[in-house]
Amino acid sequence: MAERHPALIEQVREAFPYGPEQHRALDALLREILHGVVEPLGPGSPDRELWLGREPGHFGRPWFDAPFLWAESYFYRRLLEAVGYFGEGPWQGVDPFASFKRAELSGPTVDEELRSLDDLVGVPSAERATALLGASLWGNRADLGFRGPAGESTPGDADPSLVADDSAALWALLPAGSPATVAVIADNTGRELIPDLVLIDHLLRHGHAERVVLHVKPCPYYVSDAMTADVVDCLRRMSGAPGEAGAIGRRIWEAMGAGRLDVRTHAFFCAPYPYERMPADLRAELGNATLTILKGDLNYRRLVGDRQWPATTPFAGPTAYFPGAVAALRTLKSDVVVGLDQKTLDRLEGSGRAWRTSGTHALIQVRP
């Protein structure tokens, strides 16, 4: 909070030709975080009373005293207020992170990753499924909020051995030819969302799902989190590519038009709460899915609870409340983790690496 938030404020300031009003608001937010106390949203904010009613005890106290998950979420909400995202005016609805997202999406790394899809043409379905699930999982390393909009790739080399691997259980829930509905709760756009979309295409094309519902954020959040506009940008990028990537992009576009892939959003996806507190309408929707796949570190923290669990706590315990079968695909970028066996934990703890927070380790966990 003391380093990343000030840097992000400056990068957002430089990304757009904001006027004096936005610059003053960004300066005020920066001073408040570093030297002041948490202030409520302005009187004209549509959700002011909602935030005041959520955790009123955090207001009037230093930012560093608030739980990190709450403070992070509220920071992004305040940043949107500072740049005029919700207010009437020329900056209404303008994503302050759009330039960062587009720069990543148009970069040469994406070209290489799209070309690599040609290598999977003719590969047996089971082998292809394993590769695409892995790509979706490790795509979570491409997180602008984690490395900073101007940063390089996540430091360190990825450990190919997963700290937990329930991939067999995931595929067992989605046998080919089943009339399954799969919910995918997305995390980042760009280099993470593209492999997510490729995996969705595989689920639909090979009969693992009859229908997929892709849940995205309703507004800009955590720099690179995916919104509907980002889904469209990724599909256009894919559809305009040659070879297999272009074919997949066009199939997904057609699937959306036919209703086999539905993109939805909900205000709760930007809330600073665990999924245990999800509202009744979202609970009912996810409860009707054959399987809900949650992508990324933040969704994992919200799924199991942002707490200092013993790492060997069974995954089924903290997720017992979830209304249906659930799977987590996550690269580790925070201390929270459950579901590890003691032997794996001992190996990781003895490695001398920051395995919980470096983004170099990953897991696939399933609770049927």
Read off the pLDDT of each residue in 69-79 and give the average, rounded to a whole number. Answer: 95
Cα-based distances in Å from 367 to 54, 279, 295, 303: 29, 21, 15, 12
Read off the pLDDT of each residue in 206-216 and give the average, rounded to a whole number. Answer: 98
- Where residue 76 falls (left for φ over 0; alpha for ψ -120 to 50; beta otherwise) is alpha
Residue 339 has pLDDT above 90, yes or no: yes
Task: Tell me the residue ranges of DSSP E strands in the chain.
Answer: 164-165, 181-185, 211-216, 261-265, 291-295, 326-331, 362-367
Read off the pLDDT of each residue in 354-361 and give the average, rounded to a whole number. Answer: 94
Read off the pLDDT of each residue in 148-172 and give the average, rounded to a whole number. Answer: 72
pTM, 2 dp: 0.94
Read off the pLDDT of each residue in 153-175 and give the average, rounded to a whole number. Answer: 82
Q: How far is CA 366 from the centre of its chain?
A: 18
Residue 85 has pLDDT above 60, yes or no: yes
* DSSP conformational letter for 58: G
- Confidence tier at 143 by pLDDT (50, 70, 90): low
Q: Are 91 and 84 in contact (CB under 8 A)?
A: yes
- The bridge status of strand 211-216 relative to strand 362-367 is unpaired
Cα-based distances in Å from 250 to 105, 120, 161, 355: 17, 17, 33, 38
199 exposure class (CB count in 10 Å sphere: 0-12, 13-18, 19+): buried
Lowest mean pLDDT among 53-67, 194-208, 256-270, 318-332: 53-67
Question: What integer pLDDT is reported at residue 158 of this predicted model?
Answer: 64
Residue 155 has pLDDT above 90, yes or no: no
- Confidence tier at 156 by pLDDT (50, 70, 90): very low
Report the alpha-carbon distance of residue 150 to residue 178 in Å, rounded: 44
Angle between helices 108-115 and 228-239 (to 10 degrees): 60
Residue 228 has pLDDT above 50, yes or no: yes
Residue 161 has pLDDT above 90, yes or no: no
Residue 151 has pLDDT above 50, yes or no: no
